[in-house]
Chains A and B, each alone.
Chain A
Amino acid sequence: MKIARFLSTTLGVFLILSASSLPVAKAEVKICDFGTKVEDLKKIQTRENREDSAGIIAELKIRKDLLKITATCLKDNTETLDTELSLIKASTPEMKAFIEWMHRQLQENIAFYSYKETQIDTLGIQGAKDIARELASRKAQADTTLENLVISILDWNSNQPLFETGSKRFSDIKKTLDAFKLPNDHEVIVLEKEAVTLFNAASLENQGAWKDFTDREVESGRIKMKESLEKLAEAYTVFLKISEVSKKTLPL
């Protein structure tokens, strides 16, 4: 009886801890589909008599339909970005504050698209054109400032497990090599020093990329982010060399 209770307790704790480490599901992205409406609009715009009321009504309906699809898509995609952003686990208060700032900006855009969506039903042809311009302007502004930044932050965040794995790998390799107390001129130790240099450089670039993003320097941040991964890959090339040489020269 006591053994059964002990085993059930063990299993329970194990299951709870396992569940807490499960990955969070990613946000589902909705695909925007304009169907044949764009072609329909182009076709109706080429009609001979642009003043006939039936044609105007038909054109207005297509314009409104397309505007609704567009506004909904913009809103949905911004919401998706926001959801993906919310899945990032901030490791510092500064990071948390920065993510919250981006979240608020995205929420403002979502509110704008939602508001424009509600105006569409009451529009005439000119009003529909004006709203289209407003949406285009807001989208261009959001793309070039906020959304590129958020996408870059999401990319940067997706790199972090690679650095964590690399750090653990490097730490394990170092512990293993330290255990043999090899001389400084041993081939493996020389390679280890090379790996240290590369890994540190990769980590610095990684941190630099984050700093650039927080300074809204998206392009230079992306370049540093890419370089950080390239240096990490170089460090792994050296890890592989260490592995090959160690297997030949050390009693592993």
Chain B
Amino acid sequence: MNKLEHILNQLKNIQPDRTYADRSLNTIVNSPRSSRVSWFSFTFFRVAEYGAAVALVGLLFFVMMGNSSLVELFSPIRSNSLNTGGLRAEAEAIDIQIKLLGIDYEESSSTASLTTVAAPSFARKKTIRPIAASVETSTPMTVNTTTPNPDIDDVLDLLSE
């Protein structure tokens, strides 16, 4: 037992060869730091990953919103631009808008001839619903379904008398 302790105590005094220790130290100190490389590659791949995600989203938007195939995206020929159905739909939307504005304008012109107001009052049917337009409201107690709700101007005239 004492012999074993003696051997173990001798192990504490073991030293490496001086030349070998110096060479090893130099090798470690002069070798490139691997941690910097891993940080760079980590950042690079993260940026690439997010960049690819955003690019893919952009591509998806192009395909969905343009209703185009990938080949069409990179071709100068937009065959969809001459699609008759799409053109007709857009032209119809313009016609509807003209009719809406036309109705407003005709109504305003007719009121202009009847009043002494300097400029006509444009009908509000499209942008703003008329103030007293409906008899179907959520307050049935006060609603008279046989007589239409009077115009606000008429009410003010009546109240002024």
Q: Which residues of A sit under 8 angstroms from B157, Cβ to Cβ?
A: 136
CB of B94 within 8 A of CB of A34, answer no
Per-residue interface assignment for chain A, residues 10 to 34, with 1 indicating a CB less than 8 Å from any chain B CB and 0 otherwise: 1001100100000000000101111
- Kindly state whether residue B62 has any CB partner on chain A within 8 Å: no
Do residues A36 and B144 form an inter-chain contact, with CB atoms below 8 A?
yes
Q: Which residue of A lies closest to B50 (CB)?
A: A9
Residue of B nearest to A5 (CB): B49
Q: Which of B77, B142, B147 contacts A176 (CB 8 A)?
A: B77
- Beta-carbon contact of A151 and B122 below 8 Å: yes
Residues from 77 to 102 in B contacting A, C-beta threshold 8 Å: 77-84, 86-88, 90-91, 93-95, 97-98, 101-102
Report A70-100 CB contacts with B as 1/0, cut-off 8 Å.
1001100100110010000000000000000
Does A219 make an interface contact (CB < 8 A)?
A: yes
**Inter-chain contact A31/B117, CB cutoff 8 Å:** no
A189 on interface, CB distance cutoff 8 Å: no
Q: Are A165 and B128 in contact (CB under 8 A)?
A: no
Tell me which residues across on chain A come within 8 A of B97, comparing CB atoms: 158-159, 162, 229
Decide yes or no whether B15 CB sits under 8 A from chain A: no
- Contact of A35 (CB < 8 Å), options: B117, B120, B144, B161: B144
Q: Tell which of A49-57, A103-111, A240-248 binds the partner.
A: A240-248
* Residue ID in chain B nearest A243 by CB atoms: B82
Q: Mark A213-237, 1 if CB is under 8 A from B, else 0.
A: 0000011001101100110110011
> With a CB–CB cut-off of 8 A, which chain A residues contact B129?
29, 31
Contact A39:B147 (CB < 8 A) given known A136-B160, A140-B117: yes
Asked if A173 and B78 sit within 8 Å, CB to CB, the answer is yes
In the assembled complex, the Cα of A144 lies from the Cα of B119 at a distance in Å of 5
Given A222-B105, A239-B87: A176 and B79 interface contact (C-beta under 8 Å)? yes
The answer to whether B84 touches A151 (Cβ under 8 A) is no
Q: How many residues of A contact B (CB 8 A)?
A: 79
Stretch at the interface among B6-14, B20-28, B34-42, B148-156: B148-156
Contact status B76-A155, CB under 8 Å: no
Contact, CB under 8 Å: A151 / B49: no
- Cβ of B158: which chain A residues have Cβ within 8 Å of it? 38, 41-42
Measured between beta carbons, the chain A residues less than 8 angstroms from B139 are 33, 35
Q: Does A193 contact B (CB under 8 A)?
A: no
The smallest beta-carbon distance between B119 and chain A, in angstroms, is 5
A106 to B52, CA, bound (A): 48
Contact indicator B155/A144 (Cβ below 8 Å): no
For residue A38, which residues in chain B have a CB less than 8 angstroms away from its CB?
150, 155, 158
A38-B150, A39-B144, A237-B91 known; A77 and B131 CB under 8 Å?
Answer: yes
A172 contacts B90, C-beta separation under 8 Å: no
Chain A neighbourhood of B104, CB < 8 A: 155, 222
Chain B residues near A147: list those with CB within 8 A. 121
- Which B residues between 126 and 142 are near A, CB-CB below 8 angstroms? 126-129, 131-135, 137, 139, 141-142
Q: Are B137 and A132 touching (Cβ within 8 A)?
A: no
Contacts A39-B147, A240-B88, A243-B82 given; indicate if A148 touches B54 (C-beta within 8 A): no
Q: Does B56 contact A (CB under 8 A)?
A: yes
- In the complex, what residues of B have CB within 8 A of residue A152's CB? 122
Is A211 positioned at the interface, with any CB of B under 8 Å from its CB? no
Which of B81, B88, B122, B155 is in CB contact (< 8 Å) with A172? B81
Instruction: Give the contacting residue for B101; candidates A63, A128, A169, A225; CB below 8 A.
Output: A225
